[in-house]
Amino acid sequence: MQFGIIGGGSWATALAKILTDSGNNIHWYIRNEDSIHYFKKRRHNPHYLSTAYFNPAQLQLNADINAVIDASDVLVIAVPSAYVEEALVLVPAEKWVNKKIVSAVKGITPTKNQLLHEYLAETVQFPFNQYFTLLGPCHAEEVAAEKLSYLTFSGSSETETAAIAACFKTDYINTVVNTDVVGVQYAAVMKNIYALGAGIAHGLEYGDNFLSVYIANCANEMSTFLQKITPTGSIAQNYTASVYLGDLLVTCYSLFSRNRTFGNMLGKGYSVKAAQLELNMLPEGYFASKCIFKTNTQIQAPMPIAAAIHAILWEQLPAEEGFKQIESFLT
């Protein structure tokens, strides 16, 4: 298999490291030509995971997304969800024919409120059986440090999914396979919302005792939503597995979590705009909160925690008041 990577951020860089460390040569779309020139000269990404060095012989860097797609059999998409439509709109539908896509996107497309496979099916008629996901509790910074991590690959065919997963196995990456393509994507979206809430709680000076109860209730709320939104007839999933509960835990607790960091600032009294300016970013959980709130108007799952966080982020509910509401229904 010839792999291509779409995206130049920290997660894309981590995945490029995993693939090259497992012996693959890759094509890599990075839209900034200056970054490519720097990369070729210094052998590392100038903006992300600068401790991760690459063998230039394994990389074909290109600022032309269509050239990378043409040269690849499997495309790993690792663009933040807020920008994925902007990146893929440049690709004609015929370029995707006979390609496989592995989504490492942990969000929902902002204008259409769709998971990536839904967006691709609608816009370029991309077949579901050629679509796979790569998710789980795996911070890019720990990949750069080669700390043991687990990635879960999902696809409709367990055999094909396992073949792709095998290409990512290294001394520091173990791989798991499941077939819950829809559920794992929604879990990856929702854990960012709850992690942002965990950060708010920390900023409000709640302690570890409260946070443990908060996260346990988030896990229950998430599993209820996933059961409702999973296609009828799907195999029942173990929602305590690493791609569900594990990813929720690490995103809520880890200091590497941008959602937790952003939420912490809100809890300390920053406005959304002020926190954005201070950190120079809006985390996935900010956009995810609005998308899940909208989706749940149809699903009607009981989600009081996510609703309270949405009200803090999008309806100017004071963080302290929102968490007083959350206190009242935690069990």
Q: Domains of the chain: which residue ranges? A: 3-179, 182-329
Which H or E element spans position 101? strand 100-103
Instruction: Give the residue carrying structure tokens 């663009």.
Output: 79
Q: Is 6 helix (H, G, I), strand (E, B) or coil?
A: strand
pLDDT tens-digit series, residues 277-291: 988 888 889 999 999
Which H or E element spans position 145? none
Which H or E element spans position 100? strand 100-103
Predicted structure pTM score: 0.94
Domain 182-329 sits in CATH at 1.10.1040.10
Fold category of 3-179 in CATH? Rossmann fold (3.40.50)
- DSSP for 171-225 reads TTEEEEEE--HHHHHHHHHHHHHHHHHHHHHHHTT--HHHHHHHHHHHHHHHHHH
pLDDT at residue 232 above 70? Answer: no
Lay out the sheet containing 173-178: strands in order across: 59-62, 26-29, 3-6, 74-77, 100-103, 131-135, 149-155, 173-178
Residue 114 per-residue DSSP state: B
pLDDT tens-digit series, residues 284-324: 899 999 999 999 999 999 999 999 999 999 999 999 999 99
